[in-house]
Amino acid sequence: MKRETIKMIAAVGFTLAILTAYSVLNYFYEKNRLIAQIDKQLYSAAVAVPFVLVNDFHDRTTTSTSISISEDNQNIKNLSKLNNQLGTKFLYTVIRDINGIYRISSSSALASEIAKNKEVRYFTPYPDASEVLKKSFENPSINFIKPNKIYKAQYVPIFSDRWGTYRSIVLPIRTLKGKLYVVGVDMDITYVNTVLKENTIKTILSFFLFLISIIPIVITYNLMLKRKQKEYQEVHKLYIDKSKLSITDPLTKLYNRYKLDYELELQYNNLQRGGNPFSLLILDIDHFKNINDQYGHQTGDQVLQLFADILKKNSRITDTVGRWGGEEFMVIYPNSDLEKGFILAEKLRLSIMESKETQKYNLTVSIGVGVCKKNINLDQFLKKVDETLYQAKKMGRNQTIKVI
């Protein structure tokens, strides 16, 4: 009896030792995995930041009056939108002025901060700059690749303050003109400890269940692990793909075709799941070739920029406005029917025709407009709207035609 008791105690002790070792190893494995995942997310966010700023923005950041309030507001808006999309806590860029003071050159903001006008503004001193960030300015030659390319990313160790627990990335970048600035991204990782505790509890329970019923546990765990791994790979691929592609047309500063394709898929999928319909406007500048032939391609580019500004000013903030290609543009109008889409199209057409800046070029536009329905696939819908655009051109241009 004693021998059996000793064996039982030994077995229990061995089981507890294995459980303890397994729990400790699993804890650190999960922690490292989560941090690695966070670092990838931070890197994806950091490399996306320059794409939402004007190309020459940091070449002009020299004094407190170098950047207009409107441009600062636009940067805050763009970075805040990107911040919300990527699930980070704070996106910002930092410069060092001629007096050696570190200053915020652009930043994201919370909706509550924007509502109360408490967002961080351009050229605000940044006394809390980390040592990692400062070294990026002190040793600009370290990890240098070539002009306008990203330096090697550096991660700021985990730190805590009254707002939570964070991990950050610092990404030094040099512009084509040689101006050095730093992109910073903060991410709240308070949830990591909670996740780790939950995982530890699950590990202990799973271990005991494993002793009771080994086969169902193994099968369930393997299936769950494969599903989670597949989900992680899909999300990771999405972050990498987005970080490599700019979403802005360099000439007009509107969204490019990549972004338009993405938003169309998003609106279409939402519609298929029972969401609200959306209208689509495809616009083509009439006789644009004549402008290039008469005034030259440089003026043609200026006309495209002017055209883009008018589209942006006369669209809602929730609309997606972009350059589809050449002199063709597109407006995605969420939560709207055909009549609303037609009203917006006519508003844009008249604004372009009546603008003082466009009158000397006799600038007009032909527009096709349609509303997407569930019983048509996206390619068919795009084709129908495009066909109405060319119908408008055949009927004399400077008009809007609806998809019937």
Rounded to 5 degrees, φ, ψ at 263 are: -65, -35
pTM (whole model) above 0.85: no
- The amino acid sitting at 180 is L
Angle of helix 190-212 relative to helix 2-48, nearest 10 degrees?
150
Rounded to 5 degrees, φ, ψ at 281 are: -115, 125
The more confident residue out of 79 and 24 is 79
- For 239-275, how does the pLDDT look when each residue is reduced to its tens digit (9 = 90+)? 555 654 578 899 999 999 999 999 999 999 999 998 8
Q: What is the distance between the alpha carbons of residues 216 and 201, in angstroms, rounded to a whole number?
A: 19
Q: Token digits for 388? A: 């109405």
Where does residue 253 fall: left (phi above 0), alpha (psi -120 to 50 degrees), or beta otherwise? left
Percent of the chain with pLDDT over 70: 84
Check: CB of residue 175 under 8 Å from CB of residue 148.
Answer: yes
pLDDT on residue 389? 95
- The amino acid sitting at 392 is A
Instruction: Name the pLDDT band for 368 (thresholds 50, 70, 90).
Output: very high
- What's the residue count for the chain? 404
pLDDT on residue 178? 81
Residue 142 has pLDDT above 50, yes or no: no
- For 81-100, how does the pLDDT look when each residue is reduced to its tens digit (9 = 90+)? 999 999 899 999 999 999 99
Instruction: Name the pLDDT band for 20 (thresholds 50, 70, 90).
Output: confident
Q: Which single residue is written with the structure tokens 């039982």?
A: 8
Q: How far is CA 339 from CA 173, 201, 223, 364, 382, in A?
A: 47, 57, 49, 21, 18
pLDDT on residue 244? 45
Mean pLDDT of 357-368: 91
pLDDT on residue 165? 80
Q: What is the distance between the alpha carbons of residues 387 and 69, in angstroms, rounded to a whole number?
A: 42
- For 317-326, how does the pLDDT look when each residue is reduced to its tens digit (9 = 90+)? 999 999 999 9
Q: Token digits for 213? A: 């019923």
pLDDT on residue 144? 41
Q: What is the distance between the alpha carbons of residues 267 and 282, in angstroms, rounded to a whole number?
A: 16
Residue 282 has pLDDT above 50, yes or no: yes
CA 276 to chain centre: 23
Of the candidate ranges 186-200, 288-302, 339-353, the one whose mean pLDDT is the lowest: 186-200
Q: What is the distance between the alpha carbons of residues 13 and 339, in angstroms, rounded to a whole number?
A: 75
Mean pLDDT of 156-171: 78
DSSP conformational letter for 364: -
- For 176-222, how does the pLDDT look when each residue is reduced to its tens digit (9 = 90+)? 888 899 999 999 888 777 877 787 777 777 777 766 765 565 466 56
Check: CB of residue 246 under 8 Å from CB of residue 51.
Answer: yes
Q: What is the distance between the alpha carbons of residues 199 and 193, in angstroms, rounded to a whole number?
A: 10
pLDDT on residue 374? 85
CA 396 to chain centre: 40
pLDDT on residue 219? 61
pLDDT on residue 197? 79
Average pLDDT, the chain: 85
Residue 2 has pLDDT above 80, yes or no: no
- For 27-74, how does the pLDDT look when each residue is reduced to its tens digit (9 = 90+)? 788 888 888 889 999 999 999 999 999 989 999 999 999 999 999 999
Find all residues with CB under 8 Å of 161, minimum gap 6, and list them: none
pLDDT on residue 366? 96
Q: Token digits for 203? A: 């590990």
Q: What is the distance between the alpha carbons of residues 48 and 79, in angstroms, rounded to a whole number?
A: 10
Check: CB of residue 264 under 8 Å from CB of residue 321.
Answer: no
Of the candidate ranges 24-33, 148-157, 221-230, 391-400, the one whose mean pLDDT is the lowest: 221-230
